[in-house]
A and B are shown apart, each in its own frame.
Chain A
């Protein structure tokens, strides 16, 4: 009997370990994109502001993945010799949009407007991490190697924590009605 309880405890502990490993290191936190676009080159080295490409972040609930014409706005001139850019150009010439893979995917029952958060002054990096140093976008950033400090688990407690406490840093008060169910689930 004692042994049976031990097996259950071991099973439960390893189950949680497996679950955590999936949350931290599964490939969907950093999916492979159709074009190996590097945020490090664009936002880091060349210091292009986020909202130069994600133009609807302050106008809409979607930050907006840049349209292909916007990419071509620069890349019809810049680095046209690179095979990666030629790959991009081929999408443009085929008149096909690029099928980017979504990294930050909230379930349908969550209403998250980028517009309100950007207008409140929350920096993009607060949720999206140090994008300027990422070649490929990775959702679960692990600062100092401590997994429990990772930046955006996209869980409800994480949202509420900011609505209640950290919001004071940006707007001076907790978010008005910030913990109401209907604020996010509508």
Chain B
């Protein structure tokens, strides 16, 4: 062998070996560290998940959840199978609440305003400083005798946190604790008060009904308790007793529920109440109502004959009579009224009209009909609402406003000028976990925990014919430097001192919660009869996720009479702003299944989930009927401006055949292109 060849072979050999060695090294998984616990928590086994029962707070339905936690990190949320509301199921919004916990946009520590209000300038402060700023402010208010100028505005909170806030505000000397959310179901509660005499939203027994007449209630995506009703709807269609329940959906824009219905009746927007009364008229005229007061009902409804109503609602007379016949003769049947009709100015009258239908068909208190819930003392304080707050703020009658988990600047109409009125308030403190339009105006932000980090409880409203209490317990340790609202309030009470401190001497909200449940336990004979000591009961509460009696609780109702209801249906026709010529189209909005009132809009999972009817992702759009679009010369994807007497919005067009040609529609909850 030549010297040259020997060197070449040697060279090839060593390069090959080296390449082989480094290839082997590169193809191995990278070196990893094994970091043990220093001192492990008792209930943690690395690699084994713990499931903590808790409460979903993504809407006000009050579903029970199980949070899967591995080594202290929440990984997945599922429904609690024992829970009577959602029976182990959970909707997309509930699943996505995990992203609220880990959201990088969360407010991570207390903030103080820097620079002009609303400009978004904030500096980080410590909790001690934040709490002392707020408690000094409260002390100053009460020293000046202006305690009644303190306002607290929260989302719909029920249960112990609500009681704590109530007694805090009372001991501060302010009557101004109000709750506001875009979808608060106050009209529905009012309707059940005036037609049944019950202070709670009833349980609509969709599961066992055979004929469901829905006036714009999109119960499979957003209406009051969507998981519960979607499950029930599945049961309704199961051919129990050989009959498959029929669903008739009355709404101008086909919702997900409308798409599932046997019949979709696109009545003219705002005339659903008239349609309900016309159906009631037909029930009585055609002799389906057996009561002795048929004559006086007839007199009350005289103005709503199907013939007249057909002209108003654009639903044919024959169809109204057919619906009346089916509704009255199918046993059991059920009529429900949703946000689609409740949001017009005649919303209350419309929902009352729906309940009249249930009364005439004999659906109140029967299986498969309207089952009243035991509501207790919940009454609606109509004077204390967001409009009253805005008016008081404009009149400089609000000195300090505390806001929690609600965003009126975004959810109230621009024409209401909420933002301008809030500017008159000298001091606003927000407890929001996220920067939103209202929180951006705050002078002080004390960020509260998200629901996965906090204690709490909830009494579902509507529940399912029996009371349902759900416990919220921290599934994970606080992710950022935040504090539970209950704890913030108790620390504030300590800072304010005096009478307030004496009334609230709990060390933390978890103690308060436990005491509250001790009281429930000592009062309630059902809980006592379970023959457990309180500690056993409390442990069972935490492991099951809540408390609910096994049996249905009977609630007495007061039957509605033509005389008692006359005043409530007087405003049954609704007006629309703008004259017909200048504004020829109706504009409607609906709560979107992902974003609801806007709270889901910051969660990527919900943004990337296609809308169930249009499959649009990441954005908002205007739905226009193809016929209308062609007459206006609009193509799909065009940017159009929708204008009302109050303002303009701009968005892309989606051609949607499931909408009346005289209506355009835009989903709520997303930030749209406000022009003016």
Contact = CB atoms under 8 A, between A and B. Distances in A.
B32 interface: yes
Contact of A100 (B18, B29, B33, B37): B33
B612 interface: no
A66 interface: yes
A6 B32 CA distance: 40
Interface in B62-108: none
B33 A14 contact: no
B24 A18 contact: yes
B47 interface: yes
A105 B38 contact: no
A184 to B, nearest CB: 15
A44 interface: no
A18 B20 contact: yes
B39 A100 contact: no
Contacts of B32: 101-102, 105
B23 interface: yes
B16 A18 contact: yes
Residue among B14, B31, B46 with the most chain A CB within 10 A?
Answer: B46
Interface stretch (B5-13, B172-180, B299-307, B545-553): B5-13
A15 interface: yes
A102 B38 contact: no
A12 B47 CA distance: 42
B36 interface: yes
B567 interface: no
A41 interface: no
B70 to A, nearest CB: 10
Contact of A16 (B20, B35, B40): B20
A7 B48 CA distance: 54
B31 A102 contact: yes
B39 A10 contact: no
B13 A14 contact: yes
Contact of B38 (A20, A23, A95): A95
A13 interface: yes
Contact of B14 (A14, A28, A60, A95): A14
A100 B34 contact: yes
Contact of A106 (B5, B29, B39): B29
B35 A26 contact: no
Contact of A59 (B18, B34, B45): B45
A21 B24 CA distance: 9
Contact of A26 (B13, B25, B33): B25
Contacts of A106: 29
B12 A7 contact: yes
A41 B23 CA distance: 36
B382 interface: no
A138 to B, nearest CB: 15
A19 B47 contact: no
B18 A69 contact: no
Given A3-B5, A26-B25, A60-B46, A15 B31 contact: no
Contacts of A108: 29
Given A3-B5, A102-B33, A60 B20 contact: no
Contacts, number: 129
Contacts of A68: 36-39
B477 interface: no
Nearest to B16: A14
A117 to B, nearest CB: 13
Given A15-B23, A61-B47, A105 B16 contact: no
A12 B46 CA distance: 44
B613 interface: no
A147 interface: no
Interface in B443-465: none
Given A101-B31, A102-B31, A105-B32, A56 B12 contact: no
B239 interface: no
Given A3-B5, A61-B47, A97-B37, A14 B20 contact: yes
A43 to B, nearest CB: 17
A96 interface: yes
B46 A62 contact: yes
A182 B198 CA distance: 55
B243 interface: no
Interface string A140-169: 000000000000000000000000000000
B559 interface: no
B31 A105 contact: yes
A11 B15 contact: yes
Contacts of B38: 67-69, 92, 95-97
A92 B34 CA distance: 16
B9 A10 contact: yes
Interface string A7-37: 1001111111111111100101001000000
B523 interface: no
A99 interface: yes
Contacts of B46: 56, 60, 62, 64
B24 A26 contact: yes
B405 to A, nearest CB: 36
Nearest to A59: B45
Contacts of B17: 14-15, 17-18, 21
A147 B669 CA distance: 66
B563 interface: no
B12 A10 contact: yes
Given A14-B12, A56-B47, A19 B24 contact: yes
A16 B47 CA distance: 37
A48 interface: no
B616 interface: no
A18 B36 contact: no
Contacts of A96: 38
Given A19-B21, A61-B47, A67-B40, A101 B13 contact: no
Contacts of A23: 24
Nearest to A68: B38
A100 to B, nearest CB: 4
B19 interface: yes
Contacts of A69: 37-40
B546 to A, nearest CB: 29
A16 to B, nearest CB: 6
A21 B21 contact: yes
Nearest to B49: A60
A23 B47 CA distance: 29
Interface in A90-135: 92, 95-102, 105-108
A182 B16 CA distance: 37
A61 B47 CA distance: 6
Q: Which are the 6 A-B pairs with shortest beta-carbon distances? A: A18-B20, A22-B24, A14-B16, A60-B47, A18-B17, A15-B20
Interface of B: 5, 8-9, 12-25, 28-29, 31-40, 45-48
10 contacts: A7-B12, A15-B17, A18-B16, A18-B23, A20-B20, A21-B24, A68-B38, A99-B35, A100-B34, A105-B29
Given A12-B16, A108-B29, 10 more contacts: A7-B9, A11-B13, A18-B19, A18-B22, A22-B22, A26-B21, A61-B48, A105-B29, A105-B32, A106-B29
Interface of A: 3, 6-7, 10-23, 26, 28, 31, 56, 59-62, 64-69, 92, 95-102, 105-108
